[in-house]
Amino acid sequence: MANKRLSLDAWAVIIAFALAIAVRFGAIHKVPW
Binding site for other proteins (CB under 8 A): 3, 7-13, 15-17, 19-20, 23-24, 28-33
Q: Where are the beta strands (DSSP E) in the chain?
A: none
**Residue 18 C-beta: closest distance to other proteins, Å:** 10
Say which residues have a Cβ less than 8 Å from residue 27's Cβ, sequence separation at least 6.
21
**Residue 4 C-beta: closest distance to other proteins, Å:** 13
**Residue 33 C-beta: closest distance to other proteins, Å:** 4
Say which residues have a Cβ less than 8 Å from residue 20's Cβ, sequence separation at least 6.
none
